[in-house]
């Protein structure tokens, strides 16, 4: 079965500093990987996704993530954080169950990002 671990429950950074949120996954084949962001009281918004090809993926709001198969990781990065980036971030892995897959996603526990001015 697939699983996702986000080791950091809460991260605090200063505005303008760089950011890296960690995500490790467990899956037997090539995974589909996603990062979502959730602002308080809101649903999840897709930041970026990896299906195949280039292992460095660009997303919205200046975020990027790098798929590293050898480390089973898909860490999210941003070179300069803005106060509006404060939110909760979720990493997810999608199943590939062959011809019957319906796109089941398994989510990590989330990382809460606090941004200090």
Q: Which is nearer to another protein, 28 or 103 (CB)?
A: 103
* Site stretch for another protein (CB under 8 A), options 16-24, 35-43, 58-66, 69-77: 35-43
Q: Does 59 bind another protein (CB under 8 A)?
A: no
Q: Three-state secondary structure along the chain? A: CCEEECCCCEEEEECCCCEEECCEEECCCCCEEEEEEECCCCCEEEEEEECCCCCEEECHHHCEEEEEHHHCEEEEEECCCCHHHCEEEEEEEECCCHHHCCCCEEECCCEEEEEEC
Q: Which is nearer to another protein, 15 or 72 (CB)?
A: 72
* Binding residue for another protein, selected from 108, 111, 113, 115, defined by CB under 8 A: 108
**Residues within the interface to another protein (CB under 8 A):** 4, 32, 34, 36, 41-46, 49, 51, 90, 94-99, 101-110
């Amino acid at each position: 079965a697939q699983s996702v671990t986000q080791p950091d429950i809460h991260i605090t950074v200063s505005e303008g500093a760089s950011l890296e949120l960690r995500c490790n996954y467990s899956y037997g084949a090539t995974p589909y990987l996603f990062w979502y962001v959730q602002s308080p009281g809101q649903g999840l918004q897709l930041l970026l996704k990896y299906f195949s090809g280039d292992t460095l993926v660009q997303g919205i709001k200046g975020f990027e993530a790098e798929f590293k198969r050898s480390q089973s990781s898909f860490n999210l990065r941003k070179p300069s954080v803005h106060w509006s980036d404060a939110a909760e971030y979720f990493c997810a892995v999608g199943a590939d169950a062959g011809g019957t897959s319906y796109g089941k996603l398994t989510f990590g526990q989330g990382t809460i990002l606090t941004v200090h001015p």
